[in-house]
Amino acid sequence: MEIVRARDMMIPLDDYPHIPYWFSLRQAMAEMENFRLDHNGRHSLPRVVLVFDEAYKLLGLVRRRDLMRGLEPRFLLSEPIHHSKGIVDLKPDRDLAELTSDGIVKQIREQSERSVSEVMLPIRATVNHDDHLQTVVNVLVENDMSLVPVLWDDQIVGVVRTVEVMHELAKLVL
């Protein structure tokens, strides 16, 4: 049986959505909404967008839920609001959202202009292009990731998603 390597499963960087760190949340959402992945005959929407700096160095990634968290109106934030004296922790009543939907829409639109760098996650791990399938599996599982960047000579050349890994594992066990 042929050895499967990261390079055999990866989506090339040119075929995967990526943006600069100064893009707004709105621009990152547009990239996700308008990008269609077509890899090995499988069609899907991206769940993650990669974030780069000016020198095309990979800084992090943004998932759908990071964007949603970043759009949350300030008065509905998941974090407790602390009283100025630090005595009382107040949590917003999420049912109030129904009463002020125009205000919420306005705040969501305002939040959408925040920089994607405010909500992106750092890259926790990478794999090399010649890493074995099992190495890729280990990296994904140990780091609780759904996608891992692939490097060749310390340059990112693509990504491997769990979808591609599961496809290769299925070929081994089915």
Of 144, 141, 152, 122, the C-alpha closest to 5 is 152
32-70 pLDDT, tens digit per residue, is 999 998 877 778 889 999 999 999 999 999 999 999 999
Mean pLDDT of all residues in 90-104:
63
Task: Select the more confidently predicted residue: 10 or 39.
Answer: 10
Residue 1 belongs to a domain: no
Side-by-side strand order, sheet with 127-128 = 11-12, 155-161, 147-152, 127-128
Q: How does residue 92 score in pLDDT terms, banded at 50, 70 and 90?
A: low
CATH for 22: 3.10.580.10
Range(s) of the domain holding residue 18? 6-173
In angstroms, what CA-CA distances link 35 with 22, 30, 43?
19, 8, 11
- Has residue 167 got a pLDDT over 50? yes
Q: What is the pTM of this model?
A: 0.81
Mean pLDDT of all residues in 16-29:
97
Q: Which helix (H) or strand (E) holds 122?
A: strand 121-122
Secondary structure (3-state) at 104: helix
Residue 84 belongs to a domain: yes
Centroid of chain to Cα 71: 15
How many other C-beta atoms can be found within 10 angstroms of the C-beta atom of residue 148? 26
Residue 88 belongs to a domain: yes
109-159 pLDDT, tens digit per residue, is 999 999 999 999 999 999 999 999 999 999 999 999 999 999 999 999 999
Task: Select the more confidently predicted residue: 164 or 80.
Answer: 164
pLDDT score, position 99: 52
- Has residue 160 got a pLDDT over 80? yes
Residue 154 belongs to a domain: yes
Number of domains in the chain: 1
